[in-house]
Chains A and B, each alone.
Chain A
Amino acid sequence: MNARAINFTLNGQPVSTAIEPHRNLVELLQRFDLFGARESCGQGLCGCCTVLVEGKAVSGCLYFAVWVDGKSVTTVESLDADGQLSSVQQAFIDAGAFQCGYCTPGFILMSHQLLKEHPHPSDDEIRHYLSGNLCRCAAYPEIIEAVKMAAKTAP
């Protein structure tokens, strides 16, 4: 019922679909077979559903899908679209910054945002910026290490 036609840019490609106003952004992405953003806590606290809208990080679980009409949406799947892992992705592997991997897409997108705002972040800045991302395997020390590694290798 009451689905609305929306047009937006998804990872650089113009796309169109119809979606109901009560759906959130994570549900919208699933329709495009994108499963990197996951709804976990559903309350904007854990960061597993991190998506960039107009280049800014949002919680996909707390963002109405229809609001991306006319906007650009970027997901974790865009990072290695050219066949090459991003500096942050590579650093997460090199530092072993995950165990089960469920929270990893959110951490990686947030780390990209963090490095955009703070190219050479201190431990404190990293902890503060990523305080809204939860890793229940508690790989935090390795995640902080990975962000610092990525800061060194970033082009």
Chain B
Amino acid sequence: MIPFEMVEPTSLEEAMSLLDPEEPTIRPVAGGTALMLMMKAGVFQPTRLVCLHKIEPEHARIAVVDGGALRIGAMATLSQLEHDANVAKHQPVLARAMRTLSNVRVRNVARVGGALAHGDPHMDLPPVLTALGARVSVSGPQQSRELPVEELYAGYYETVLEKNELITAVTVPPLGGRKAAYIKVTSRTADDWPSLGVAVSFALKDGTIRDPMVVVSAATEKVTRMRTAEQALRDAAPDDAVLCRAGDAAAAEVETLSDAHGSAPYKRELLRVYLRRAVRQALDERA
């Protein structure tokens, strides 16, 4: 890696003041596990990294707020998410997703905020949090704002965040009896980047699916909701025929990208099959 400056602000405000909305070679760094890969590959050559380790410790807390919503500070590590008792109780699908995310060492270091802000469509948290209807809190020098995780991504490695904005937390609403599952498919080792991620959540009433969310990642340029698949599931009893129709609808709708983890047609077929499995898994799990 080539030399750069590393600054370590001690407050969120100071961190934002050290970022520059016009300067792409200045970036914040949380755990750095993904950013260092880009730097080693020469894809990103910073002049300055704004390290967030020394900002207020409250940004690393996970807590239950407002009647069961889970507020996850952006600086919480993925290991915290994996082992936190409140996460296991209120959003078990999140804790389960952590178990297959990279490996123990990466989870010990990588942070929730970084996993969201990096914009890599292969990451696991964005599809799961989208399917759970989570919202991110974002701070900027002028104002703070909140937006759904679903609206965070603009394209391949692109978010809607300004370069001097920072994600401070993500809030996951209570499941309220909804079912949820996330499945990822890796074509090489178990802890490899996925060829496909598919997250689903839905309510089940009188044996039929209500308000389904179907979210695809890794196979697409960004985290994407599959609206026609949701349509196929809505108000239907989840029998084999319905699940097949939903899988077919998703395969017809999705725009997949080829990469080292699989060709575009391969990923399309994966989605057709794994969408059905994700719904079945959600039905089997206690969310």
Residues of A at under 8 Å CB distance from B? 1-2, 4, 20-22, 24, 42-45, 47, 50, 56-59, 61-64, 66-67, 110, 113, 128-129, 131-133
Cα distance A133–B2 in the bound complex, in angstroms: 28
Q: Closest CB of chain A to B156's CB: distance in Å? A: 20
For A57, list chain B residues within 8 Å (CB).
104-105, 108
B99 / chain A contacts, CB cutoff of 8 Å: 128
Contact B109 A62 (CB under 8 A): yes
Q: A45-B191, A67-B53 are in contact. Are A21 and B104 (CB under 8 A)?
A: no
Question: In the bound complex, do residue A22 and residue B2 qualify as a contact, i.e. CB atoms below 8 Å apart?
Answer: yes
The 8 closest A-B pairs by CB, nearest first: A132-B103, A21-B6, A22-B1, A59-B105, A56-B108, A57-B105, A62-B33, A62-B36
B240 at the binding interface (Cβ < 8 Å) = no
With an 8 Å Cβ cutoff, the count of chain B residues facing the other chain is 28
> Given A63-B32, A67-B51, does the pair A132, B3 have CB atoms closer than 8 Å?
no
B95 on the A face (CB < 8 A): no
* Extra 11 A-B pairs, beta carbons < 8 Å, given A4-B6, A24-B1: A1-B3, A2-B5, A20-B3, A43-B40, A47-B105, A57-B104, A58-B108, A62-B106, A63-B32, A66-B6, A132-B102
B85, CB-defined interface residue at 8 Å: no
Q: Say if the beta carbon of B4 comes within 8 Å of chain A.
A: yes
Q: Could you tell me if A62 and B37 are in contact, using CB atoms closer than 8 angstroms?
A: yes
What are 18 A-B pairs with beta-carbon distances under 8 A?
A2-B3, A2-B5, A20-B3, A21-B6, A21-B49, A22-B1, A22-B2, A22-B3, A22-B39, A42-B40, A57-B104, A58-B109, A63-B109, A64-B6, A67-B51, A67-B53, A132-B103, A132-B106
| Chain B, 196-248, CB within 8 A of any chain A CB | none
B104–A129 touching, CB < 8 Å: yes
B143 at interface (Cβ–Cβ under 8 A)? no
B189 touches A (CB below 8 Å): yes
B88 at the interface (CB under 8 A from A): no
Q: Are B5 and A62 in contact (CB under 8 A)?
A: no
Binding site for A on B (CB under 8 A): 1-6, 32-33, 36-37, 39-40, 49, 51, 53, 79, 99, 102-106, 108-109, 189-192
Chain A residues in 8 Å Cβ range of B79: 56
The answer to whether B36 touches A24, judged by C-beta atoms less than 8 angstroms apart, is: yes
Contact (Cβ within 8 A) B33 A21: no
Q: Is the CB of A132 within 8 A of B36?
A: no
Q: Is the CB of B103 within 8 A of A44?
A: yes
How far apart are the CA atoms of A128 and B105 in the complex, in Å? 13
CB distance from A116 to the nearest CB of B (A): 11
Question: When A24-B36, A62-B33, A67-B53 are in contact, do A45 and B103 touch as well, CB less than 8 Å?
Answer: yes
